[in-house]
Amino acid sequence: MRKNRSGRQSDRWSNPAPLIGLPVSKNDEVLIDIIGMNHDGEGVGRAEGYTLFVQGALPGEKVRVKVLKTKRQYGYAKLVEIVVQSPDRMEAPCPIYDQCGGCQLQHMDYTAQLAWKRQLVLDNLVRIGKLNVLDEGQSGESIGQGITLLPTIGMSDPWRYRNKAQVPIGETEDGLVGGFYARGSHRIVDMEACLIQHENNDEIVSHIKAIGRKLGITAYDEETGQGLLRHVVVKVAFRTGEMMVVFVTNGAKIPNVESWIAEITEAMPAVTSICHNINTKQTNVIFGDKTSVLWGNEVIYDYIGDVKFAISARSFYQVNPVQTEVLYGKTLDYAGLTGAETVIDAYCGIGTISLFLAQHAKKVYGVEIVPEAIEDARANAELNGITNVEFEVGASEDVIPHWKEQGITPDVIVVDPPRKGCDPRLLETILAMQPERVVYVSCNPSTLARDLRVLEDGGYRTVEVQPVDMFPHTVHVESVALLVRNFVKN
């Protein structure tokens, strides 16, 4: 808390003065209609024209809310009473849904979630990308001309889909706890089951907590920097059933490590790898730089389609393997490969998309800035006997122009960037190389829309966008977009 000129502490930040001229103030209760939902899954309503965001409210509902915080343009309110309920509302099956921030949409019917995610993509394409999207009215008749935006592909069973759990560990009077951070805080709430995690992940975490309590293992304390166990990371391979456990500790030595190993492997025979990662930094980053194998294998194996992947402790691997196959299938479909094409895969990671495409292309080049990922990509290519791929470490915007100088001319460029989207120089490089097709895999509708606008302005036409629900019951949505080069006669 800062001090004013007289030396007294100012409460300006903790208890701000009300904004003059707004129709509502903090602690007011008002009745509003919910007219939409924002990208965080909060209901959007208006009180005398003033926008309020309400967690837990659904479009079409009339709700009574208590104002929690006001800003000049908008405010936040707490749901007090549902006066008129949406037909899309359902009882969240998770008993700790209201406390946990991991899911945001369990109170919404799954079919409605899929429709909302499509609408989210549509809104971003139109508002940010200024793109002309071919939409359908209530009658099913097309309105206007432009990009085809398909319905979101969902899951037949949208539960227990995550293959990786990263569980923060804390401590109470009863010993170790582990589960999730309470919404809006770093207070760890103990949890025995997560309905979007694979059941085996829940089971092994429960065993580990019980073993830790019995052995008197201490948990890391963020405030003091003391204590040993920071996180437990568990990975399960859906196809092979193999499991990996990673202990992330604030120190190089784990007491009674032999007992840990013996009890874990006895309780869960599916565990084939137990690893140890050391992170002594005072940071909220999960992993440190050093990882070693305590017992078993260095990797576990899983498949996407017919391609086998080795997954190490720190490998990035899509957390929903069922929908990953759907996503990559659509990517392959949009690439339009006949076996004669040269493909560049920017942001290739451990080679998941590259190896998927290589089965149908003449040659695939993958680039990734993380050296360890490229090592994994090369190992995965060798594991599958795929020889028509080359991987290189570096930034796409640096490596791909170098490939161009070497005479590599891609027919297709595939990009799968992080949430921030493509680097502007990469977009410039794509426009300079002029592939016939660009396939854009996106985890963020807003940066997808921004980048599609750049590519369209540079001579490409977005043909189709396919949303895919990789993370049911959360606000996240993946999309795959197909762009083709416009051929203009001189």
- Please write the tens of the pLDDT for every residue from 450-469: 999 999 999 999 999 999 99
Q: Is residue 299 located within the same domain as residue 368? A: no
b/e per residue 40-71 (b: at least 16 CB within 10 A): ebbbbbebeebbbbbbbbbbbbbbebebeebe
Is residue 283 assigned to a domain? yes
Structure tokens at 75: 């405010």
Is residue 184 assigned to a domain? yes
Q: Is residue 81 located within the same domain as residue 187? A: no
- For residue 287, the domain's CATH number is 2.40.50.1070
Closest CA to 379 of 396, 368, 391, 363: 391
Bridging pattern class, strands 300-304 and 175-181: unpaired
Backbone angles phi, psi at 281, to 5 degrees: -85, 145
Is residue 104 assigned to a domain? no
Is residue 139 assigned to a domain? no
pLDDT at 136: 54
Q: Name residues of the chain where pLDDT drops below 70.
A: 1-20, 135-145, 487-490
Among 60, 89, 118, the domain boundary falls at 89
Q: Are 251 and 217 in contact (CB under 8 A)?
A: no
C-alpha triplet 191, 315, 258: angle, nearest 5°? 60
Q: Is residue 197 located within the same domain as residue 251? A: yes
pLDDT at 487: 63
Point out which residues pair with 215 in neighbouring strands. Answer: none
Q: Is residue 274 located within the same domain as residue 415? A: no
Point out the catalytic residue in the list 94, 194, 275, 443. Answer: 443
Is residue 130 assigned to a domain? no
Q: Is residue 428 located within the same domain as residue 476? A: yes
Q: Is residue 190 located within the same domain as residue 324? A: no
Q: Is residue 417 located within the same domain as residue 468? A: yes
- For residue 385, the domain's CATH number is 3.40.50.150
pTM for the whole thing? 0.90
Total number of domains constituting the chain:
3
Helical residues (DSSP H) of 248-320, grouped into ranges:
257-267
C-alpha triplet 176, 178, 182: angle, nearest 5°? 125
Q: Is residue 356 located within the same domain as residue 469? A: yes
**Interatomic CA distance for residues 231 and 248, integer angstroms:** 5
3-state secondary structure of 46: strand
Closest CA to 211 of 169, 263, 165: 263
Q: Is residue 299 located within the same domain as residue 332? A: no
Q: Is residue 274 located within the same domain as residue 173? A: yes
pLDDT at 490: 36
Q: Is residue 62 located within the same domain as residue 29? A: yes
Bridging pattern class, strands 243-249 and 307-311: unpaired
**Domain range holding 385?**
320-485
pLDDT at 75: 97
Is residue 137 assigned to a domain? no
User: For the chain, percent helix, then strand, then coil, each to nearest 5?
Assistant: 25, 35, 45
Closest CA to 194 of 217, 166, 220: 166
Among 89, 108, 141, the domain boundary falls at 89
Is residue 414 assigned to a domain? yes
Among 37, 64, 89, the domain boundary falls at 89
Note if 94 is an active site residue: no
The H or E element that residue 440 is part of is strand 437-442
pLDDT at 183: 73
Q: Is residue 212 located within the same domain as residue 248? A: yes
DSSP 341: -
**Interatomic CA distance for residues 177 and 165, integer angstroms:** 15
Is residue 433 assigned to a domain? yes
Per-residue pLDDT tens for 3-12?
A: 343 333 433 3
